Structures are given as C-alpha cells and as structure tokens.
Amino acid sequence: MRIRIEETICAISTPPGKGGIAVIRVSGPAALATAKKIAPGLNKKQIESHKAYFCEIIDLKNAKVDEVLVTYFVHGKSFTGEEVIEISCHGSTYITQKILDLLIENGCSMADRGEFTFRAFMNNRIDLVQAESVLSLIDSQNELSAKMALRQLDGHISKQFLKLESDLTWCLAHIEASIDFSTEGLDIIDNSVLIEKVKIILKEIYQLINSYQSGRLLKDGVKVVLVGEPNVGKSSLLNLLLQNEKAIVTEIAGTTRDIIEGATVHDGVKYLISDTAGLRETTDLVEKIGVDRSRQEALKADVLAFVLDVNERDWETSFALFKEVGGSKNLFLVNKVDQAPEISKAEITKKLQSYQANINPEQVILTSALDPKARSSVLDNVKTTIGSLSYLEEAMISSARQFEKAKYAADMIEVSLKELEKNSGAEFVAMYLKDALVSLQQILGHAYDDQIMDRVFKEFCLGK
C-alpha cells in the first residue's frame, strides 16, 4: 500500500454498472477545492461539514455533465480523517466515469483498493482489526456475520487486544526492571506474581483464539457435505436445502458425477452445501473420478451429512464407506421416510448404533426430500452440531491473520511461562515476551510492515 497522504484520491464507491445513483468519493487535502473546480456553483455557497449541496458538474468545455448532490466532511470529521467529498450522481456508467475523469484531470489520483480505509488507519481513525471488520461487513451476506463485523468495527475486539497488549507490556516492564535496576519507578515484583499475571493473559488470549472457529464459520459459512451411496437422495436433499433445483435428480444410480455446490441462509447463518457423487466401487472412469472427488470434498466439511435410504435393510456397505471418509462432526440423514411412515426415530437410531455404537440420537435426522419441513430440521441440526454459533455475545475473531498472530503470541507466552516457572534468567523470559508483544501489536497495527498492510488491504474493493 502506497503512503501518499499529501495526494487527494478519488474512486467510484458504488458497484460497477448502472443504478439509480452512484457515489464518487474524494479524500485528501484538495478534496473541496477540486470539487469546486468541477462544480463551480459550490463557490457561491457557504459550505459546512456534513451537509449536502445540490449543484451541477461542468466539463472542461463548460458543458453540463450531471446534476448532483455534493456532501462535505471537514478534515478530522470524516471516515478517513481527511477532508472528504462525496458526489452522489445519476448512476449511469458514462456519467460516473466522466466525473471521475474530471476529478483526475483536476489533480486527483485514482485510489488503490482499500485506500480510503488504509488512510483511516494511517490517520488513527481505526485500527487494523477495525479495518478488517469493514471488509467483513461489506462481504457479509447474513445477519449474524453482519452483526459480528459491526461488533468488531465498534472496537469490541480491539479493546480486548489492547488490554492484552497493556498487560503484557506491564509484565515485560517489570521483568526488564529486574535486568536493569536503573529503570526508575518500577518495583521488582515476585516471580509468583508475574506467573499468575502471565497465566491470566494466556487464558484471555486462548478465549479469543478459540472464538476463531465460530467466527470463521459465521463469516464464511458452514460447509455441509452430503455423502452416501448412489440413489439415496443426496441431490434431492441439496435441492431442498438450497430451495432451488440445482442438481439433476433421476432414479438412475450414479446420476451425480461431480461436486455441486450452493449457498443458503437459514436463521441468520450461511451454509455452503455440497452434493457429491454416490460412493461405490465402479469401473466407469468418469464415475470413479467423481467418487474420488466426493472423498476429497468430505475432508473439507465442517459437518459431514451421511445420507441413507430408509428402505435399505442393510447399511453395512454404507458404513464401510463412511468409515473411509468420516469427519469429526457427523450427521446421519435417513432419507425417504415418506416411504416408511411407520418407522420411528428410536428404531432407526438403534439400527444405526448396530453399525457404529457411538452414534447418539441428536445425530440422527429422519428426512424426506419431498417434505419442505425437512430443510429447517436439517439446518437446525447442523447448527446444533457446530455448537457455538450462537455465542455472538462474546468477542469473536474471524480473520485468519488475527488468529495466526494471536496463536503465535500465545505460543511465545507459553514458552516464557515455562522459563519463568523454571526460574530461568530474566533475559530469556523477556526475549519471548517481547516476541509475543510484537505479535499482539501487529494485530491492531501498532506494529506493522508492508506484508501486513498488503494482507489486510489487498482484498478490499475500489472506493472503500
């Protein structure tokens, strides 16, 4: 990410294509002056911050380009912290591009991806965790992921990392004081006090680290893979879950040859559902490749849904195949129950347990792809299987970067704790704690380098 704070940048902030209106954003020291050049009517008005002004955009030949609303944000009171102008124009691709060209002809530079948010970070308006949450918020496609991103944006997680940084700094300062007695104003504290303090820090870091699994699932979606023998109704269930006839369904065993994926939202959570080729031994080359792909796909599942046909009397083969792909979180969807209305869940569970003793009743769902109610019953059970998706009240991290940095900090603190407990030299302890502290500082951006900046901002879209 280029640092060029003295330049005024501009970009179209609304999605490409035509729309009712489009918004062009301008940020930097010459934002208002440039707006006045392309919209001379502004010169006649007393411009106040956070107010919108109706005016005409004029091109270099003095011809009218559009009638627009210009909103002005004074330096220090905008998202970027700089002087900002937002031009709301008619959403024609020609008009938006023309206004952007005029801004550039009048001295503005085209913004890089995420540069507005980057400037907000550089001007201390937000920290890196909040910058990442802006991206998550833009990407969010369901209620819970949007709520989680908003909570991160309002500084909920940042506060926790800040506290950890400050607690760790306190420990480090006291350890360093014992190395260098000249450090003024710090008492040498007992090892046991430090050990207790470090243990508390570790506990708090682990809470954040452990929230990543749920945070990631809320942000990216829960991956559910449907596997089973041919003809049991996997594709029919996929169509039911997606509420869309996405996969071909026939009575011919071996219909699905490839992975078919789709996303759906239920009760605020996003699910990514995959239908796979029926598992069986086959000499058909294409089907064989399909079956291999099913096995690969099963490995990627957050929840593996084994589909069985209730009409089958023998599930021996199915279970032999499941053992090959078995994940840690499994559900058993016993399908086509419309064809066996007399059967009870207790009976089915008992039968399943005869193949695999550790199956518990919560993992067993009787389904019929013909019954629309089966959709919520399957997805509710997936949510329960995942377990922690409703713990939005707690602070959650959802960025792999934050997770890796927190994990590294925890590892380093673990090492320093061992050294402390062994009563090793303070230099050793301090060395590891310093490493941990830098890693924590990198999370919020109190320490950063180009690599970190690129990782955070490269995924942003233009105009944000």
Positions touching ligand GTP (CB under 6 A) are 228, 230-236, 249-251, 253-256, 277-278, 335-336, 338-339, 368-370
> Which residue, 238 or 389, has its beta carbon nearer to Mg ion?
238
> Which residue, 127 or 229, has its beta carbon nearer to ligand GTP?
229
CA–CA separation, 303 and 320 (whole Å):
19
Cα dist from 242 to 8, 56, 270, 374, whole Å: 46, 47, 11, 12
Bridge partners of 333, per DSSP, are 307, 365
Residue 174: which of ligand GTP, Mg ion, none does it interact with, CB under 5 to 8 A by kind?
A: none
Residue 251: which of ligand GTP, Mg ion, none does it interact with, CB under 5 to 8 A by kind?
A: ligand GTP
Cα dist from 321 to 169, 228, 294, 325, 404, whole Å: 53, 8, 11, 7, 35
Bridge partners of 227, per DSSP, are 306
Number of residues engaging Mg ion in binding (CB under 5 A): 3
Residue 339: which of ligand GTP, Mg ion, none does it interact with, CB under 5 to 8 A by kind?
A: ligand GTP
Burial (CB count within 10 angstroms: exposed 0-12, middle 13-18, buried 19+), residue 168: buried
Residue 232: which of ligand GTP, Mg ion, none does it interact with, CB under 5 to 8 A by kind?
A: ligand GTP
> Which residue, 136 or 368, has its beta carbon nearer to ligand GTP?
368
User: In the structure encoding, which two tokens stand for residue 37, read together?
Assistant: 């050049």
Q: 3-class secondary structure for 32-63? A: HHHHHHHCHHHHHCCCCCCEEEEEEEECCCCC
Scanning residues 253 to 272, which ones bind Mg ion (CB under 5 A)? 255-256
Segment lying near Mg ion (by CB under 5 A), choices 28-36, 231-239, 387-395, 402-410: 231-239
Segment lying near Mg ion (by CB under 5 A), choices 11-19, 248-256, 295-303, 421-429: 248-256
> Which residue, 250 or 354, has its beta carbon nearer to Mg ion?
250
> Which residue, 24 or 232, has its beta carbon nearer to ligand GTP?
232
Residue 338: which of ligand GTP, Mg ion, none does it interact with, CB under 5 to 8 A by kind?
A: ligand GTP
> Which residue, 307 or 382, has its beta carbon nearer to Mg ion?
307
The strand order across the sheet containing 260-266 reads: 260-266, 269-275, 222-228, 303-309, 330-335, 364-366
The alpha carbon of 459 is separated from its chain's Cα centroid by a whole number of angstroms, namely: 12
Q: Please, what is the minimum distance in Å from the beta carbon of residue 27 to ligand GTP?
A: 52
User: In the structure encoding, which two tokens stand for residue 335, read together?
Assistant: 């399908």
Bridge partners of 222, per DSSP, are 271
